[in-house]
Structure 1
Amino acid sequence: MDWLKQTIDLGVIGVLVTMSIIALSVILERALFYRQLTLTDYTSKKALELALTRRLHIIATIGSNAPFIGLLGTVLGIMLTFYTMGQQGAVDTHAIMTGLALALKVTAIGLVIAIPTVAFYNVLIRRAKEMLLEWEIHHEREGI
């Protein structure tokens, strides 16, 4: 059953690492885009809003789902621990605690990915709203 435990661990952790790389890539891309954006290039508020919010849903999805994927890994790890206990027929507290501790690490990884991802999402959303308001203020001043 060790192969199954490693498959679960590596599979779930692999998914979480992939999600974190995708989130980091989108966060960096959006931050660079916001830094280089010239508001006067846009004549339509809707076009600006579309450009500002592009791909933000990816960050939100990863941030909200990473803990659940981590929890799935934990549940699978706990199930595997109980299965192993049942197959061995003896209750070894050392093996149980080790199995449960290893299972919980996946939830911790999911939280480590989710917390900063959600924080960055909120920062990017706030910056997008600020830029939209700056665009509106500029167009009001210009009488456009």
Structure 2
Amino acid sequence: MKQATKILAFETPGRGLTDITRTIARWQQESGIGEGLLTMLCRHTSASLLIQENAAPEVRGDLMAWLDRVAPEGGHYAHDDEGPDDMPAHLKAVLTGVNLAVPVIGGRLALGTWQGIYLAEHRRRPHRRELALHLIGT
């Protein structure tokens, strides 16, 4: 059994979904581990990770719009230390999650045909976000 770990950093443009699939897949292939399990952790509380549709951009837009409706900005939050988008960003991260696990089969991430891995930025301004990766297998 082999293991590989890495901290990857991504620059986000602000609120939205950034497709990180290729970067993650390239790292997995460079690791030399072709069968196993990849776990990923977003090391932040106002950003998250998603596996989502990678073909129709409307899906991603609709998802972000839904999150805005579920956790809207406003003066009704006690926590607003970093502005009106602060607490809604934390709520969106709770709803979408900060970790993922993806099997590695036959030397590739076992994602479905229309699936991609996305870093969800829930804050308005750009951020540098880090992901901790751990791959175990053979």
Counting helix residues as a fraction of each chain, which structure ranks higher?
A: 1
Q: Is TM (by shorter chain) over 0.5?
A: no
Task: Kindly name which structure, 1 or 2, has the bigger radius of gyration based on alpha carbons.
Answer: 1
Q: TM-score when scaled to structure 2? A: 0.29
Instruction: Identify the structure with bigger relative contact order (alpha carbons < 8 Å, sequence gap 6+).
Output: 2
